[in-house]
Amino acid sequence: MSMLEVKDLRVAYGKIEAVKGISFDVEEGQVVSLIGTNGAGKTTTLRTISGLLRPARGSITFEGKRIDDVPAHKIVTLGLAQSPEGRRIFPRMTVEENLMLGAFARKDGSSAVRQDLDAAFELFPILRERRSQPAGTFSGGEQQMLAMGRAMMSRPRLMLLDEPSMGLSPLMMKKIMSTVQTLKAQGTTILLVEQNANAALKISDVGYVLEVGKIVLRGTGQELLSSDEVRKAYLGEE
């Protein structure tokens, strides 16, 4: 049994079918990426898994349990957290308050939560330095680190990351990708959505290519990186 099993998933916005019957699995301990151009349905897929959208058809099973009709706040308590595209931090709250919000659903007490806050500060030292500053004053890259830190605070077994490198400098992007690898080494399973296919595939065990709501290719990160089709369409090569 895979940690996450998505079967024949269809998601529509009114009459627009954004996801047209996709199936894929995420094995425990892996980094799996969904790549594809604008509008392929990547964000829609992640938002449906985390319970923010409801599928029109199909099933989503997390650790053996159907979650496609479970409310989003309950899904977090099952061990699945999303770090959203566009960051969605709370600008008037401090950095530390934003991080602590990630732990709202935990029942394992304050010392474990403190430990994870320290772990987030270790990964992203700037969050510690600026812990009392309103989060709205952060740059895009800093907000991205905060959003990832907040997702970590729920101590998820599966983390969904939506475009973590969006709008970041090459240096920051490297930092985010190496953080993904660190999280993996610490035992977190990761489903990653990225427009930067090159960066994502380099660190992925498995990748899926989405085109207008359908999966058109599946392979290991290495296979997709060396596939002519992927190189031409997504890595900007001739």
Point out which residues bind ligand ATP (CB under 6 A).
13, 16, 18, 36, 38-44, 195
CB of 16 to ligand ATP, least distance (A): 5
Rg of the Cα atoms in the chain: 17
CB of 194 to ligand ATP, least distance (A): 9
CB of 8 to ligand ATP, least distance (A): 17
- φ/ψ of 23, rounded to 5, equals -135, 130
Q: Determine how β-strand 16-26 pairs with β-strand 4-13.
A: antiparallel
Who contacts 201 (Cβ-Cβ below 8 Å, separation ≥6)? 33, 35, 207, 221, 222, 224, 225, 230
In eight-state DSSP terms, residue 93 is S
Nearer to ligand ATP, 187 or 236 (CB): 236
CB of 201 to ligand ATP, least distance (A): 16
Nearer to ligand ATP, 36 or 102 (CB): 36
Cα 160 to Cα 195: distance, rounded to the nearest angstrom:
15
Nearer to ligand ATP, 37 or 94 (CB): 37
Nearer to ligand ATP, 18 or 199 (CB): 18
